[in-house]
């Protein structure tokens, strides 16, 4: 099977995907149909990929595209899911799902809710823990996904969606420490802000 990993940091999933019966390609730039055809790509795995995957690409691989997303969908679709899970006090976790024409709206393969311990007290620590949990979850289901034996559950309605620019009104909370910001200073700030509006 020829698999394309669309990612800016593929090194953690490469050892899981690599196998005797797979040929793995990696791309960080935009995917086009010619690239897929030239390399006979049958499946795409998106992990931290920064581009929206077009309908024509989804159709080319017959919907065989999965995404590894560090949120507990349907909450925090789109950009900065870890940050928003604290700003809005929404569920935290990781989700592996199919990609459809929406942003993080495809059918769910598996997901895991995460409760952070008191030692995970900064954005950086929680972000790193989410990625560790994602790799562990992906490792546990990869062979089923590859064989087409995985679960497929339609996402629930509701949840939340955020664009990259949405966080600008909360940038003052990150101004001093950035990724080392204590999550206690973020908790519920967007909820409180919405209440005042």
Q: Which are the contacts of 70, defined by CB distance < 8 A and separation ≥ 6?
A: 81, 82, 94, 127, 130, 131, 134
pLDDT score of 175 more than 90: no
Between 82 and 119, residue with greater pLDDT:
82
Phi, psi of 48 (to 5 degrees): 70, 25
Domain ranges within the chain, ordered by starting residue: 2-196
Q: Map tokens 């950035």 to a residue.
A: 178
Beta strand 23-27 pairing with 65-69: unpaired
Which CATH number among 3.40.50.1370, 3.40.50.12230, 3.40.605.10, 3.55.10.10 corresponds to the domain 2-196?
Answer: 3.40.50.12230
Give the model confidence (pLDDT) of 71-84 as tens digits.
999 999 999 999 99
- Of all residues in the chain, what percent carry a pLDDT higher than 90? 86
User: What's the mean pLDDT when you consider all of the chain?
Assistant: 93
Phi, psi of 62 (to 5 degrees): 55, 40
- Taking the complete model, does pTM exceed 0.75, yes or no? yes
User: Residue 150's pLDDT band (boundaries 50, 70, 90)?
Assistant: very high
When pLDDT is averaged across residues 163-172 and rounded to a whole number, the result is 93
Give the model confidence (pLDDT) of 28-45 as tens digits.
999 999 999 999 999 999
pLDDT score of 195 more than 50: no
Alpha-carbon distance of 7 to 28, in angstroms, equals 5
Alpha-carbon distance of 197 to 187, in angstroms, equals 18
User: Residue 176's pLDDT band (boundaries 50, 70, 90)?
Assistant: confident
Q: How many CB atoms lie within 10 A of CB 70?
A: 23
Strand, helix or coil for residue 57:
helix
User: Residue 193's pLDDT band (boundaries 50, 70, 90)?
Assistant: low
């Amino acid at each position: 099977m020829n698999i394309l990993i669309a990612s800016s940091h593929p090194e953690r999933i490469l050892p899981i995907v690599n196998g005797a019966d797979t040929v793995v390609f990696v791309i960080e730039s935009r995917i086009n149909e010619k690239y897929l055809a030239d390399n006979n790509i049958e499946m795409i795995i998106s992990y931290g990929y920064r581009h929206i995957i077009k309908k024509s690409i989804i159709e080319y691989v017959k919907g065989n595209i999965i995404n590894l997303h560090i949120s507990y969908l349907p909450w925090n679709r789109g950009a900065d899911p870890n940050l928003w899970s604290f700003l809005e006090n929404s569920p935290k976790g990781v989700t592996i799902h199919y990609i459809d024409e929406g942003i993080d709206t495809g059918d769910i393969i598996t997901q895991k809710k995460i409760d952070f311990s008191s030692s995970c007290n900064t954005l950086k620590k929680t972000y790193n823990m989410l990625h560790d949990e994602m790799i562990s979850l992906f490792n546990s289901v990869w062979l089923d996904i590859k064989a087409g034996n995985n679960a497929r559950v339609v996402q629930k309605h509701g949840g939340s969606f955020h664009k990259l620019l949405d966080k600008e009104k909360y940038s003052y909370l990150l101004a001093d420490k950035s990724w080392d910001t204590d999550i206690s200073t973020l908790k519920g700030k967007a909820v409180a802000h919405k209440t005042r509006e």
